[in-house]
Chain A
Amino acid sequence: AQSVTQLGSHVSVSEGALVLLRCNYSSSVPPYLFWYVQYPNQGLQLLLKYTSAATLVKGINGFEAEFKKSETSFHLTKPSAHMRDAAEYFCAVSDPRGNNRLAFGKGNQVVVIP
């Protein structure tokens, strides 16, 4: 079974500082990986995805993530945090054999300090 680990339920970052959210996965087959963002009382919005093409993936709102097979990681970064980045972020892994089931991490609540 696939799984995702996100450490640190709450992450505080100063406005203008680097945002780094860590995601480590476990999968018996080469995975597909996703980062989603959720604003309060809303659904999830896709930030970016890795589907076995380029290992450095660029997404919306200035975010990017790098797939590192040797480290089983898919960490999310943004060089400079904005107040609007305050939200909850979820990493998810999917079975690429086609059943489309996603396994989610427990999420990181990001707080941006002015």
Chain B
Amino acid sequence: DGGITQSPKYLFRKEGQNVTLSCEQNLNHDAMYWYRQDPGQGLRLIYYSQIVNDFQKGDIAEGYSVSREKKESFPLTVTSAQKNPTAFYLCASTSGGGRTYEQYFGPGTRLTVT
């Protein structure tokens, strides 16, 4: 089955530690996205990548970093510089190619930092 996988489903970390969230897709999509979801705030774009080895900051990139070394993978690192990292993180992908298509979402990772 084609789709997007995010692991783990739940993640717990101590304050001051960096943590990396995994996102893998086998849809052969060019573009991938990371969103952060907080209650009552909708989804906010952290980073996105439209092609391998290239990515752009979204609206709330501070305290986060990404890489896009393979088409299938777009890991997100939440650094210790992120002041309020506890949230639900969603990865998405789309065909891209210069046309607008709907984004397909993974199941999400809930990160709790104490």
Q: In the complex, are the beta carbons of A42 and B43 less than 8 A apart?
A: no
The contact of B107 among A42, A100, A106, by CB within 8 Å, is A42
Q: In the complex, are the beta carbons of A100 and B31 less than 8 A apart?
A: yes
Q: In the complex, are the beta carbons of B103 and A100 less than 8 A apart?
A: yes
Residue on B with the closest CB to A6? B42
Give a binary string over B32-45; 1 marks a CB under 8 Å from any A CB, 0 the rest. Answer: 01000000111111
Q: In the complex, are the beta carbons of A94 and B42 less than 8 A apart?
A: no
Q: In the complex, are the beta carbons of A43 and B43 less than 8 A apart?
A: no
Residue of A32, A46, A100 most packed against chain B (CB within 10 A): A100
Q: In the complex, are the beta carbons of A96 and B100 less than 8 A apart?
A: yes
**What separation, in Å, do the CA atoms of A91 and B7 have in the docked complex?**
26
Interface residues of A, dominant DSSP? loop
Q: In the complex, are the beta carbons of A90 and B94 less than 8 A apart?
A: no
Residue of A44, A51, A96, A107 most packed against chain B (CB within 10 A): A44
Interface size in chain A (residues, C-beta < 8 A): 25
B105 on the A face (CB < 8 A):
yes
Q: Which of chain A's residues 67-105 have a Cβ closer than 8 Å to chain B?
A: 90, 94-96, 98-102, 104-105
**What separation, in Å, do the CA atoms of A49 and B45 have in the docked complex?**
20
A32-B100, A100-B48, A100-B96 known; 17 new pairs, CB 8 Å cut-off, are: A34-B102, A41-B88, A41-B110, A43-B105, A43-B108, A44-B105, A90-B42, A94-B100, A96-B100, A100-B94, A100-B100, A100-B101, A101-B48, A102-B45, A104-B42, A104-B44, A106-B40
A-B contact pairs, 7 of them (CB 8 A): A32-B100, A41-B108, A43-B6, A90-B42, A94-B100, A104-B42, A107-B42
